[in-house]
Structure 1
Amino acid sequence: MVIDKNPEIIAKLTAEGILAIEGDAAEDEVLEKVGIKKARGLITALPGDADNVFVSLTSKELNPHIKVVARANHVESQNKLIRAGADKVISPSVIGGRRMAISMLKPVSVDFVETLIHQGFEIEIEEIVLGNNSPLAGKCLKESGIKQKTGAMVVAIKRGEDIINNPSADDVIMGGDLLIVLGTRSQLAELEAMASPR
């Protein structure tokens, strides 16, 4: 559900089949109208950092369990947003600066990623949580057959607060692990089926 003050934007989104409501996201009544108390997540990307701080604070007051991702236009606003309840703060200017630097240092890699994104390749990144009863739990990656059977690639394993980056074939995956995986939609669907308890 999108909230925006501009009626033209709301009309365009509605015409595209996107749920949208005209209003001010900083107002409690508007947030309540879109079901903030039951929502699992909220993205606040208003032009002003003060507005994003206010929406983060208000949404956490109305729903303490909601996950909030907030935009920060100024680096100095990041800590304020976190104190206001944002779980993740994204700064477009910082991301843009990093991308420009990487484009200068690693142009071939950047071109390759842009080709994947813009030429219709359906490579996606997914998070898959292994249940304790998963048939994959307790197996090392090479025994699991994930790569061989699905073609998907495990790029990291999150275990509690620890992250195993670029795991080796001998790394064991366990129940409760979160696998960060790259693959096509069909490959990821196959992996989710493999990981599900039987």
Structure 2
Amino acid sequence: MSAPRLRATPLPGIGVQYDLVTRDRRHLSVVAHRDGARTVNVYRSDDPDSCAHSLKLTGPEAGALIDALQPSHHSASLLHTTSGLGLVAERIEVAATSRWNGRVLGETRMRTETGASIVAVLRHAEAIPSPAPDFRLVGGDTLIVIGTREGVDAAAAILGRE
């Protein structure tokens, strides 16, 4: 069987729609919204132009689905695991609606509360290594957090609090 063909169609003002027809002739599409959300659509088998089911996913939900569909692939948020040392490094995004948007890093008490360290912040196309406690967080920032699995999970919980 030949490799599946994925067709991309720009949707001005919305994002991009990706269409796939499976080997069983089922039509699926994913709309990648500009805000990071994804809509997964499954079309009817008796009418491939009629949508039977539609499911809207947030960016993190879409990432979790990718991990489930491709388990040999490491999570986009998981950077590296040093199993011998028990350390992990992950990317954790600060949401625009986060209580930390506009506040300084030191207010999170991240290292004190979790033992995990924020070693860098990715903002747009710029990397800010070793941010100081007075570094001001902005919605959309991606923090690179290193620590134990438990510490990084606790850091994600702090950053996710609304």
- With normalisation by structure 2, the TM-score equals 0.49
The structure richer in helix per residue is 1
TM (normalized to structure 1)?
0.41
Greater share of strand residues, 1 or 2? Answer: 2
